[in-house]
Structure 1
Amino acid sequence: MERDDERLLAEAREGRREALEELLERHQRRIYRFGLKMCRDEEDAKDVLQDTLLAVARGIRDFRGQSSVSTWLYSIARSFCIKKRRRGKYEPAEEQRVGSEGEEEVTRLPDPARPADETLAGRQVEAALEAAIAALQPMYREVLLLRDVEGLTAPEVAEILGLSVDAVKSRLHRARVAVRESVAPRLGIPEPAPARPAGEAACPDVAALFSRHLEGEISSDLCAEMEQHLAGCPRCTARCDSLRATLTLCARSPAPEVPQAVQHSVRQALQRFLTERPPQA
């Protein structure tokens, strides 16, 4: 996709209108998904999509490709999401607060019996994931969305957010653990009650460690220690399995179809802009 983006970008900057339209069309569903999950309001997400695509059209000649097209697009989309937030429209009444020291205050979902209908069960898990992501504070939500839903690298996320890579990863680990805690009861992966002899040390925070492992942050020695612990601790194994399942769900989150009315509105706005100021080399 990146190679195709680069080709379309080069052609768009040379003044080929159809290349610009194709470039915007191929990214519009992902931008719309990001807007929906950040704004939590369909009308706001529509505005974010249209404003983002128009901003890209206006700035296409000045974009020199120092970052990827995806990074550029999400940076613009995020700026419009922030404007929506400053107007106070889309913050939830109650957010899932992630503690400053890594402790999360999590509202656990009920743990009902697993439904016989697997399709229904799948929808329930997806709904639980959506609710868990929506409940995060925006600073954690956007990191999780960009890294685990949209699939950007940690350095790309850092560039978009204007943070260090370390800061991005710190927020990411906390967001992942918080979402896992909410979704786990729906995954059907039982966590056995801890059973350790008196005086034995408590289990490490394996979910956070596993998240750090995925980002290449723990040493081989620590990784070996974690594997040794997991071999003898079914509860921690279940926690890691549920985190892995949660991240798989994030990565598979479908990009919604952009409503036809929105596509029509975006096309009209682009046509007006391009007619008034066609791109030039």
Structure 2
Amino acid sequence: MDDETDAALLAAARAGDDAALEALLQRHQAQVYRFGMKMCRDPEDAQDVLQETLLAMARGVRDFRGTSSLSTWLYTIARSFCLKKRRRSKFAPDEHSLDTDAAPEASRLADPSRAPDEALAGKQIEHALERAIGALDPMYREVLLLRDVEGLTAPEVAEVLGLSTQAVKSRLHRARLSVRESIAPWLGIPSQAAPEPGTCPDVLTLFSQHLEGEIRAEVCAEMERHLEGCPRCRGACDSIKRTLALCRTSGPTVEVPAAVQASVKAALRSFLAGNR
């Protein structure tokens, strides 16, 4: 059923086709597990989130009417189980912090002239990005993960989180700037010199807002003119572009272990057998 679209599998699953349901859930298990790993920061919790999410989808598939996208529905379910895990474990921010003494070595490994996907191949940078995202407060982390790692639109993220789109964007801008600041030394990005009063806009925030369609055309044009003559701000914009590129390419790095897949498949088949 690899060639079947999600819509076709979903229609068949709603009609009672267990094979279609299994194929649909298997297709999306990696993104659920990835989201659980990045939100829960614990493999066992991520496995539980994956299993509970897929079972909840199996239970509710016949009632799903498609008023939201499949991904939005999936992440809404997964997030609810992440929140339960967090409450039970008295979730605390990740204890790891960036080792600033090691940053210069990583900077040499991360040649600034290399493309972002090449830079990500360096394990030091990959780990730095994971730590930077993990160090975010969960309310900011989930916004960044859903928007910049998983690729949902801001309105879709708002639907998953039960927030306004504007609230999502506000949290997103803050999360992006925080991650960019954390990994800058690992990318060989020098500290930003303070701008002279009244000379430089907050280009990092403006650029993030531009990506979300919040900047008027005339403001965007004015910013472009400023960037042409200001190396400082041009470098700042380049740094956040590279940071977001790293976020986008970090998504596929988490795979569901074979043992976890087997456990989830067994639970799913047990559930389906009990509902025939």
TM-based fold match above 0.5: yes
Q: Structure 1 pair 28/255, CA: closer, same or farther in 2 (3 Å)?
A: farther
Matched, 1:242 2:239: yes
Q: Percent identical across equivalent pairs?
A: 64
Residue in 2 that maps onto 1:102? none
Corresponding residue of 1:30: 31
Higher helix proportion (structure 1 or 2): 2
1:91-240 → structure 2 map (5 Å cutoff): 91-92=92-93, 109-110=100-101, 111-113=103-105, 114-116=107-109, 122-191=122-191, 193-194=193-194, 196=196, 200-240=197-237
1:146 to 1:228, Cα distance in 2 relative to 1, 3 A: same
Answer yes or no: is the 8 Å Cα contact 1:177–1:243 preserved in 2.
yes
The alpha-carbon distance between structure 1 residues 146 and 65, as it changes in their structure 2 partners (threshold 3 A), is: same
**Residue of structure 2 in register with 1:103 after alignment:** none
Alpha-carbon separation, structure 2, partners of 1:255 and 1:115: 23
Name the counterpart of 2:272.
274
Q: Which residue of 1 aligns with 2:75?
A: 74
Count the aligned residue pairs.
264
Name which of structure 1's ranges 247-256 and 144-153 shifts more when overlaid on structure 2: 247-256
Normalised by the length of structure 1, the TM-score is 0.87
| Structure 1 unaligned regions, length at least 5 | 97-106
Bigger CA drift: 267-276 or 251-260?
251-260
* 8 Å CA contact retained: 1:95, 1:136: no
Cα-to-partner distance string for 1:136-168 (whole Å, 9 max, x where unaligned): 001000000000000001111000000110010
| Residue number in structure 2 paired with 1:104 | none
Q: What is the letter of the counterpart of residue 78 of structure 1?
A: R
Backbone CA RMSD of aligned residues: 2.3
- Partner SS for 2:5: helix
> After superposition, what is the alpha-carbon deviation per residue over 1:38-80, rounded to whole angstroms, capped at 9, x for unaligned?
0001100000000000000011111111111111110000000
What residue in structure 2 maps to residue 101 of structure 1? Answer: none
Match 1:259 to one of 240, 254, 257: 257
Partner residue of 2:10? 9
Query: Which one scores higher on RCO, CA 8 angstroms, separation ≥ 6?
Result: 1
Paired with 1:38 and 1:117, the residues of 2 have a C-alpha distance of 27
Give the Cα–Cα distance (whole angstroms) in 2 for the partners of residues 162 and 195 of structure 1: 38
Unaligned runs of 5+ in 2: 112-118
Cα offsets for 1:162-183 (capped at 9, x unmatched): 0110010000000001100001
SS at match of 1:152: coil
Q: Given that residues 39 and 82 in structure 2 are in contact (C-alpha distance below 8 angstroms), is that contact kept between their aligned partners in structure 1?
A: yes
Compute the displacement of 1:195 (Å).
Answer: 6.7
